[in-house]
Amino acid sequence: MQQILFQEINVEEFKKILSDIIEEKLKISPRKELPEKKTVYLNRFEVVELLKISLPTLNNWSKSGIVQAYRIGNRVLYKADEIERAIQSVKNLKYKRG
């Protein structure tokens, strides 16, 4: 193990040495880019199958804002993560006491 001894070094020289070391390390290590999160779109029939509902119900939910729909030309698409967020848990109060 190497030993480093500091003898009469001022603060400015110490800062310069540290910044040089940090810059050198940043140049050596490759930057890891975050993977892009791809948005998965579902058509109306896929959403109906997933939620086990009818097309008119999905249309009503889209109009009331329960599920957000996106239109591209004549196609109506839904984001898969928004469909998952739209599903909410229901609290069962039947056996709750107190």
pLDDT of residue 76: 94
pLDDT of residue 5: 67
Q: Where are the domains of the chain?
A: 41-86
pLDDT of residue 31: 64
Instruction: Give the number of C-alpha atoms closer than 13 A to the C-alpha of residue 60, restricted to the C-beta side.
Output: 5
Q: Are 50 and 42 in contact (CB under 8 A)?
A: yes
pLDDT tens digits in sequence order for the chain, 98 residues long: 577 766 677 888 888 888 888 888 877 666 667 777 889 999 999 999 999 999 999 999 999 988 999 999 999 999 999 998 888 766 667 766 65
Question: 71: which strand partners?
Answer: 76
What is this structure's pTM? 0.56
User: Under DSSP, is residue 74 helix (H, G, I), strand (E, B) or coil?
Assistant: coil
CA distances from 7 to 4, 10, 14, 69, 93 (A): 10, 9, 11, 68, 72
